[in-house]
């Protein structure tokens, strides 16, 4: 009996360790891009704008690697494309129980270069994240996931669009302040 109980506890611990090690990789997706850094970001922005009928709007573009450079260090380039859909954010922001999820707004898609010289896209796994917050949030975030898949579905036969360097929140170099969503 003691061996059986010990085996059960060891099994539970093993599964918990595996789950903890895999959780991060499941929450965030990484997609290689066939294009350069700025072209990838521009194509993502163009794909977001194609979904205006679903409430999607660009919130801005951030360049955290420039801030790091200004602080005296050098890192490979990183661009953060920010967008939000009022279609999806409105029902989440209306209720006290889900308002805390505003921490994930706007939706941020990162475009970065690794040491291998290739460009990658990082996205939150919205569908999986939504499942952790109940059926209503799960349903909304599953739709966000579908749209995110569209954001990174590129047609290489089309010419690259210009990169919109609008800063979040308006101000110098940006558009009017829309509150990020």
pLDDT at 34: 96
**Predicted pLDDT of residue 103:** 87
| Residues 83, 56 contacting (CB under 8 angstroms) | yes
pLDDT tens track for 48-75: 999 999 999 999 999 998 888 889 888 8
Contact 142, 128 (CB under 8 A): no
Q: Where are the domains of the chain?
A: 27-151
Cβ contact 84:56 at 8 Å = yes
Q: Bridge partners of 181?
A: none
Please report the pLDDT score of residue 166 as a whole number.
82
Class of domain 27-151: alpha beta
Q: Which residues contact 28 (CB under 8 A, 6 or more apart)?
A: 122, 123, 124, 125
The residues of the chain scoring below 70 in pLDDT are 1-25, 169-181
Q: For residue range 122-145, what is the model confidence (pLDDT) as tens digits?
A: 999 988 888 888 899 999 999 999
31 phi and psi angles, rounded to 5 deg: -125, 125
């Amino acid at each position: 009996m003691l061996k059986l109980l010990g085996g059960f506890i060891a099994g539970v611990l093993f599964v918990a360790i595996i789950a903890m090690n895999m959780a991060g990789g499941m929450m965030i997706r990484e997609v290689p891009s066939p294009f350069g850094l700025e072209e990838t970001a521009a194509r993502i922005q163009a794909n977001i704008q194609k979904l205006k009928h679903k409430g999607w709007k660009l919130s801005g573009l951030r360049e955290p690697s420039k801030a790091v450079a200004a602080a005296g260090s050098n890192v490979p380039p990183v661009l953060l494309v920010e967008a939000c859909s009022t279609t999806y954010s409105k029902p989440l922001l209306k209720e006290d129980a889900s308002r805390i999820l505003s921490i994930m707004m706007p939706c941020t898609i990162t475009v970065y270069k690794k040491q291998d010289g290739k460009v990658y896209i990082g996205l939150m796994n919205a569908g999986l994240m939504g499942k952790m917050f109940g059926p209503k949030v799960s349903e909304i975030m599953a739709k966000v996931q579908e749209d995110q898949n569209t954001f990174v579905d590129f047609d290489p036969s089309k010419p690259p669009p210009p990169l919109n360097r609008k800063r979040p929140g308006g101000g110098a170099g940006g558009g009017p302040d829309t509150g990020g969503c």
